[in-house]
Structure 1
């Protein structure tokens, strides 16, 4: 695609092996430090080379990062193309999930290395960014086609939501799969596929969520300007990644000086931590308000999810994507992951109570909760998609992918 190696002898097996090793090391560095944080020196150290040797294969750091992202896109497209050979949409989704689980099992056995996560892709500069985004669109369209030709514009919209949630759930898998022993991966795959296929709602559980008033729940900030900083930072970090959203860029977004930024926050890591806390408080607030309102546990769950999707689509106060976690110091990152896990366990508790009362299907609540975490986390990226229709319809279609499953058309208008 964009990044062309500069070395001669590109067709030799030795060259390809060394280049693949460099790409694998670059992917590890990107996943740990982001694309902008990756250095030639670190990549060279990981493969036992010196920095000059790495530049023999990739002239600039940007070329190496682009090649790592291109490798991810190519690998995703390969898996989707294999899945697309199955005869039905259900079989295609099952095959795609199985290919991802097999890949993660090989990584766990040290037989394969992870590919670069795509969270920092939008922080790349043009013209590389344009080519990478075109590659991502190709992956998205191929995933959407797993459901076959759409019968209407509404079906196109719904298939787009399904494709996005399916991809995001496979990207989210490494965040929680390590809680299971490798010999349980087949069970995890079957339970997650059950949620993706049949959803969470029991037969007869209608879509009638209540939109919760989070403004009444949110405490007033002691610093009037702090909330504005957190909102601007959250939007930019979601769009550009932690490294791409510089302090100067955040300050410029608010038309203030960098000095004003440091009046509210001591350091950029403090900013990310504060953004996470605000996001987690928002999610917890929705869960608490839903419980306080009462009703069936299905009504509570669907109301919380609908309210959070409305926030994500409206951009008035988006949730910070978990992809920024890798930028935080280890102890802070661990604390944020634990808070995320507590939120997921609360969803799981609501689901288990819903199963007991009959408003939700008998499913693995812990796995279903992680599917919901992936759904609400990724919804920010679908703002433009949501803007093409009435907000309630966008919320219903997007939520249906997990709440009713990826093959249920009941919410198509």
Structure 2
């Protein structure tokens, strides 16, 4: 074959491979790793399964290609941000480039990008290999906040975590906005990330909340409650696929049969964990509404109680990444419940803006960011456990109240 012929063949190979990755990305984002099968990928692009295995011999290798492509696309966004002169410019470039990518995906001008939470679903050694690639990107972003000061590394780690998780989660709530609004959203998004929500002269001011027992666990036996607690932690750590029934049962030193005696399926367990999580968020919000003080203080109270649960509690909130385990119709209901929690925070922010305890921000965007920041706080448990609880909660919460670049 001539050189021209070889080049044309290689080009066809690359185009088909990219087509497979794009189709598989849509499936993994919609159905999770478990639901993304080679057969479904083949059906999506009208090929047979054997044709897919010519490019990817195993499902795990296709998942690796999907996630490596996603990490590379986010690395290109970091490349752009690194060229900016100031921390705010870097942050805003990250936000704008990410929203621009999501806009291109929605309009069909770019292929979909995988949610990086699927890394947890992979077996070793792929899980560690991809995690290491993500950590390299994470450290690049962390340098935006370290400013060559080693003493800030602890805070910079939390700041980077909040920034990246908010960017990843934005694709979910951006569906409520038209593409023509994305530029305005990027500016409002950047403002809240950079400078927080606290009004002039206001600082972290939490009250201690006594939270009631959620209605969703009243009447459940001790073993069912124990399964819910163990499942939330195991799924948060290992993803839905990694959190096998055997692993959850082992956490409680019971048999697999005991699990099925108390719960019909793992999907039922996931849904029950979400019910418990949102009940806890709602209880914290309602308890905060009843305390004395302005709405900034009420916000601080609910945030503090939920961060304590996420960092140190034995029944943390289930990560939204577990949504991929649920059937699409059930998932929609869970997402709507999350949006109700966000709208309640938006109401607190609106009342705070009226009384000037909260600065003039876009409350709908800020509320989604608060929910994302609280939900992802579980992943900072190791970060929090080496600090006094009060200090860890105050430091992490300062990203909500004062922002990533507070010295304005």
TM (norm. structure 1) is: 0.93
Find the counterpart in structure 2 of residue 132 from structure 1: 130
Q: Which has the higher helix share?
A: 2
Give the drift of 1:220.
Answer: 4.0
> In the aligned structure 2, how far is the partner of 1:129 from the partner of 1:331?
29
Q: In 1, are the aligned partners of 2:204 and 2:401 still within 8 Å (CA)?
A: no
Find the counterpart in structure 1 of residue 261 from structure 2: 263
Find the counterpart in structure 2 of residue 333 from structure 1: 331
> In the aligned structure 2, how far is the partner of 1:41 from the partner of 1:222?
40
CA displacement 1:251-272 (0-9 Å, x = unmatched): 1211112222123222222111
Find the counterpart in structure 2 of residue 304 from structure 1: 302
Give the drift of 1:69.
Answer: 1.0
Q: In 2, are the aligned partners of 1:122 and 1:240 still within 8 Å (CA)?
A: yes
CA displacement 1:219-247 (0-9 Å, x = unmatched): 64431211110011111111111222122
Q: Which of 152, 172, 175 is matched with 2:172 structurally?
A: 175
> In the aligned structure 2, how far is the partner of 1:217 from the partner of 1:177?
31
Find the counterpart in structure 1 of residue 318 from structure 2: 320
Find the counterpart in structure 1 of residue 74 from structure 2: 76
RMSD: 1.9
SS of the residue 2:254 aligns to: coil
2:211 aligned with 1:214, yes or no? yes
CA displacement 1:157-213 (0-9 Å, x = unmatched): 111111111111111111111111111111111111111122100011121212322
2:384 aligned with 1:386, yes or no? yes
Find the counterpart in structure 1 of residue 60 from structure 2: 62
> In the aligned structure 2, how far is the partner of 1:201 from the partner of 1:194?
12
Q: In 2, are the aligned partners of 1:80 and 1:142 still within 8 Å (CA)?
A: yes
> In the aligned structure 1, how far is the partner of 2:106 from the partner of 2:331?
22
SS of the residue 1:222 aligns to: coil
Q: In 2, are the aligned partners of 1:32 and 1:327 still within 8 Å (CA)?
A: no
> In the aligned structure 2, how far is the partner of 1:378 from the partner of 1:277?
17
CA displacement 1:110-168 (0-9 Å, x = unmatched): 11122111112122111212211111111110111122534242x11111111111111
Q: Which of 187, 209, 213 is matched with 1:190 structurally?
A: 187
Q: Which of 196, 200, 204 is matched with 1:203 structurally?
A: 200
Structure 2 spans left out of the alignment, 5+ residues = 1-5
2:402 aligned with 1:407, yes or no? no
SS of the residue 1:187 aligns to: helix
SS of the residue 1:210 aligns to: coil
> In the aligned structure 1, how far is the partner of 2:11 from the partner of 2:114?
23
Find the counterpart in structure 2 of residue 157 from structure 1: 154
Q: In 2, are the aligned partners of 1:10 and 1:16 still within 8 Å (CA)?
A: no
Structure 1 spans left out of the alignment, 5+ residues = 1-7
Find the counterpart in structure 2 of residue 147 from structure 1: 145
Find the counterpart in structure 1 of residue 3 from structure 2: none
Query: Given the superposition, is the C-alpha separation of residues 132 and 283 from structure 1 closer, same or farther in structure 2, using an over 3 Å criterion?
Result: same
Find the counterpart in structure 2 of residue 343 from structure 1: 341
Q: Which of 384, 395, 398 is matched with 2:396 structurally?
A: 398
> In the aligned structure 1, how far is the partner of 2:167 from the partner of 2:8?
33
2:1 aligned with 1:31, yes or no? no
Query: Given the superposition, is the C-alpha separation of residues 374 and 50 from structure 1 closer, same or farther in structure 2, using an over 3 Å criterion?
Result: same
> In the aligned structure 2, how far is the partner of 1:354 from the partner of 1:295?
11
Query: Given the superposition, is the C-alpha separation of residues 234 and 98 from structure 1 closer, same or farther in structure 2, using an over 3 Å criterion?
Result: same
Q: In 2, are the aligned partners of 1:120 and 1:240 still within 8 Å (CA)?
A: no
